[in-house]
Structure 1
Amino acid sequence: MKKKVLVIENDEEIKQIVTYILELEGYAVLGARYSSSALIKLKADLILLDEWVNNREGHMLCKEIKAIEALQSVPVVIFSTAPDIADIAKNCRADGFVHKPFDVDTLIGVIKKLLPLPAAA
């Protein structure tokens, strides 16, 4: 079974590019509007979260996710153009961050570090 990455991204083009990249790497990509009940039902293995989502700051959503017992063990990666993204990620207890515009190898490296794929048989 493929590992599932939930991509919460406002920009549809970026979301499509990230989806394509992650699917090529062997991940299943989920997309959803944010709600805690939806996130719990999706059972994502990792959440890639834009820093600006539906007129809300992504780091606030990250704090909400980390406060939900059923989601506390799910790694969250903040995805942003903010120059202080490392501090933002640390303050909201995100497990990682990726600067936009992103380098494909960096994006894949951060995700694979937090969500390794099973070895090919």
Structure 2
Amino acid sequence: MRRKNILIIEDDQAIREIISYLLLSEGYEPLGCPKSEQLEELHRYEPELILLDEWVNDREGTMLCQEIKLIHRLAGVPVIIISTSADIEQIALSCKADGFVRKPFDIAAMLAEIKRCLSLDHSTSGRLK
């Protein structure tokens, strides 16, 4: 069976590597992206899920999330915001993210959130409510 591609947009290399290791050990194909690149080009990774840090290279990940959701080829890809913010749930709701993970992250909780978001039907509204 083909591994699901998970794009990690995180500028902290150590965190990106830890998450990549965890995803690989769970049977996913982690794809690291240290910065936001040209958003229109993110589709070339063929992500089935995007893990997005709340701050990427001094840019708000929430703004990136909103922009990703406007790109036709990425609009149906679930996005999980990763953050240290106490109000991460509200932040995720406001930017139309599909889920969130608090830093420092609990491994089991992060993997459960990934599985939950991958199982959502994104042809309807699978966003956080």
TM-score, normalised via structure 2 length = 0.87
SS in 2 for 1:30: strand
Which residue pairs with 1:24 in the alignment?
A: 25
Q: CA deviation at 1:38?
A: 2.2
Alignment: residue pair count: 116
- What amino acid maps onto 1:98 in structure 2? V
Structure 2 unaligned blocks of 5 or more: 120-129
Which residue pairs with 2:45 in the alignment?
A: 42
Q: Higher helix fraction: Structure 1 or Structure 2?
A: 1
Larger RCO (CA under 8 A, 6+ residues apart) = 1
Identity among equivalent pairs (%): 50
Structure 1 unaligned blocks of 5 or more: 117-121
Q: Which stretches of structure 1, 4 residues or more, deviate above 3 A after TM superposition?
A: none
**1:70-117 Cα deviation digits (max 9, x unpaired):** 11100000000011110110000000000000100000000011125x
- What amino acid maps onto 1:54 in structure 2? N
| CA distance in structure 2 between the aligned counterparts of 1:70 and 1:38, rounded to whole angstroms | 10
- What amino acid maps onto 2:30 in structure 1? V
